[in-house]
């Protein structure tokens, strides 16, 4: 399970983080929050206390200093291909992908996992055509890397996701209920 913070939908992600099971991950994305560093340290401390993996999105230098790893949006990962070097052996790198071409590109980067989205319709990408379960399942079979389902993941959909070869689920709203 990967919970992704969202400034608008979950202004205080600590309430969600406190409910996550041990071993789950948190991707900290509050990019423009004026209290970003304060919240980052608060979440990091809670993740350490609860045995959660803490990743920072979009800021590799910050992630190297304060997190278990980094998450790269698809565009950043595409530009950084071949330039990303893990600062320590246990450092985790994830990236986002929105089509098969991006998944292929992710295989050329030293990533631990890819968040493939949107699998289902989602508020995060309104108007974007969802991949659907069949395309997602095919990606999990074809690409040799852990792939997490992201986008519109509800309790009902998560049961369907786990019938594929998915590594897990990622999301925002699905963790609120």
| Cβ 28 vs Cβ 41: under 8 Å | no
pTM above 0.85, yes or no: yes
Q: Which domain holds residue 157?
A: 2-175
CATH label of the domain that carries residue 168: 3.20.20.70
**Which percentage of the chain shows pLDDT scores above 90?**
68
Closest CA to 57 of 103, 98, 108, 3: 3
Q: What is the mean pLDDT of residues 71-87?
A: 77
34-51 per-position pLDDT tens digit: 999 999 999 999 999 999
Give the span between the Cα atoms of 7 and 18, in whole angstroms: 17
48-76 per-position pLDDT tens digit: 999 999 999 999 999 999 999 999 988 87
Q: What is the mean pLDDT of residues 119-132?
A: 81
Q: Domain total for the chain?
A: 1
């Amino acid at each position: 399970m990967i919970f992704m913070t969202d400034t608008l939908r979950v202004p205080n992600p600590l309430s969600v983080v406190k409910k996550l099971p041990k071993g789950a991950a948190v991707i900290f994305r509050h990019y423009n929050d004026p209290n970003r560093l304060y919240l980052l340290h608060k979440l990091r401390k809670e993740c350490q206390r609860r045995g959660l993996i803490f990743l920072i999105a979009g800021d590799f230098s910050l992630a190297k200093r304060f997190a278990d790893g980094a998450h790269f949006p698809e565009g950043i990962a595409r530009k950084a291909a071949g330039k990303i070097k893990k600062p320590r052996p246990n450092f985790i790198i994830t990236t986002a992908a929105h089509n098969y071409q991006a998944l292929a590109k992710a295989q050329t980067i030293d990533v631990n996992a890819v968040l493939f989205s949107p699998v289902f319709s989602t508020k995060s990408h309104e108007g974007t055509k969802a991949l659907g379960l069949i395309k997602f399942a095919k990606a999990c079979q074809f690409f040799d890397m852990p792939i997490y389902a992201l986008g519109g993941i509800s309790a009902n959909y998560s049961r369907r996701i786990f019938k594929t070869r998915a590594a897990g689920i990622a999301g925002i709203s699905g963790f609120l209920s």
